[in-house]
Structure 1
Amino acid sequence: MFTRILKTAIVAVGLLAGTVALAAPQEGREYKRLATPQPVPAGKLEVVEFFWYGCPHCFAIEPHTEAWIKKLPKDVAFRRVHVMWPGRSDLEGHARIFVTLSQMGIAEKYAKAVFKAVQVDRIELRREDVLFDWVKKQGIDVAKFKAIYNGFSMGVSLNKAAQQTRDYNVDGVPTFVVNGKYFTSPGMVGKEDGTIFTVIDQLLATERGAAKPAAPKKK
């Protein structure tokens, strides 16, 4: 009899834990709405991560970000923006690296390597001589990297990143923006683990539901 009661109690606790885990995120707590919604790609839901290679919190969550990207549904577009704040010259060197790798189509492939170089190995990639040597060691086409890194369009790309940082009103990183409407962060969620992506997935589900046409009324 005691065993049966104990099993029932365990099941009840499990169900309660599951209910808590699946609870909908609360606006103003786990996420907030953007004051001015931003455009998203037609026919897609979008998630944007604003980050900085020099941010330890971005580095801490990166393994969870990579794991989530691998399971990304086909209706979701994910992109990153290297944050650019006025008066923060320390950001530009890292932003140039991200822009260059992005234009080469290898930003995601080398995200972990750049984070490790900056956060663990303490390599000063904002120094061009150090950066180009590191790029060569990674097996990246150095000539192509240099052409983009020092190219005329770099200024345009950095200005665009700064503009998006302002448009999305990003004041800390990492920050995730869901479908141009909501923003959330590990700081809001209170954990630097996969919990943030549970919140993001639930917000995406909300957006999917909102996009469905209303069922026709029965006559």
Structure 2
Amino acid sequence: MIQRLSAALLVLAFAALAWLPAAARAGDGLVEGHDYVVIPGGQPLKFEPGKVEVVEVFAYWCHACNDFQPMVGRWQRDLPADVAFRYLPGAFTQNDAGARAYFAAESLGALSKTHEPTFRAIHVEQSLPARGASVDEYAALYAGFGLDRAQVLAAMRSPETDARMEAARDFMMASGVEATPTMIVNGRYRVIGRSYGDLLRITDLLVARERAAGTR
């Protein structure tokens, strides 16, 4: 009886393994639906030959993004040369001033002056409202960081920023982004993590998977 029961259990175990995603049985240990979601027809935000792209969708007003920023900041500085890391502000609405401020600072080559200080202004110093801050308030904040206020305002309201807001929203919708922070690997995978460290661990394994498969 025990032998027959053991044999039956082995059959069930092998049947269960057959249902696991191939990648989970290939060695990286990741399971689709548990560690990541495959994005149907997913494409990178910005294709670069020979590069694996990692995108963090974030929002300045997001408390979790503020907590995650020191970790992801250190992590991305140590990435190999064939990994292209990009921040993407969560343009959930066309009027999101925080997303517009990010794109404006990027267009002005000033992210090193504004990105982390913006998190600090909102979540530590509370010199900018977490929600509902206006374009003018962001411009005033960035003037305090040494940028020209008029240039910031012009960049935030420019047609180029309008287009980038729309493109960001299209990418987020195609990738199934519903919350921040969200990590997207090569446009193909949306990471599911149960902690900040888990997000980065799974991202690293998916990057390795894409590297082994050959980038597009």
CA gap of 1:109–1:68, structure 2 versus 1, over 3 A, is farther
Q: When the two structures are superposed, what TM-score results if normalisation uses the length of structure 1?
A: 0.75
Q: When the two structures are superposed, what TM-score results if normalisation uses the length of structure 2?
A: 0.76
Aligned match of 1:126: 133
The range that moved more, 45-54 or 108-117, is 108-117
1:182 aligns with 2:185: no
CA distance in 2, matches of 1:152, 1:118: 27
Aligned match of 1:208: 211
1:106 aligns with 2:110: yes
Q: Which AA in structure 2 matches 1:24?
A: G
Q: CA deviation at 1:163?
A: 1.4
Q: CA deviation at 1:132?
A: 2.7
Structure 2 contact 101–135 (Cα < 8 Å) conserved: no
Aligned match of 1:156: 163
CA distance in 2, matches of 1:164, 1:205: 23
Unaligned runs of 5+ in 1: 1-21, 213-219
Structure 2 contact 42–174 (Cα < 8 Å) conserved: no
The range that moved more, 93-102 or 38-47, is 38-47
Aligned match of 1:35: 40
CA gap of 1:67–1:173, structure 2 versus 1, over 3 A, is same
Unaligned runs of 5+ in 2: 1-26
1:76 aligns with 2:83: yes
1:24 aligns with 2:20: no
CA gap of 1:129–1:148, structure 2 versus 1, over 3 A, is closer
Residue number among 189, 199, 202 corresponding to 1:199 in the alignment? 202
CA distance in 1, matches of 2:173, 2:28: 32
Q: CA deviation at 1:117?
A: 1.2
1:167 aligns with 2:190: no
- What secondary structure is seen at the aligned counterpart in 2 of 1:163? helix
CA distance in 2, matches of 1:158, 1:141: 22
Q: State the Cα RMSD in Å.
A: 2.2
Residue number among 56, 61, 75 corresponding to 1:54 in the alignment? 61
Aligned match of 2:72: 65
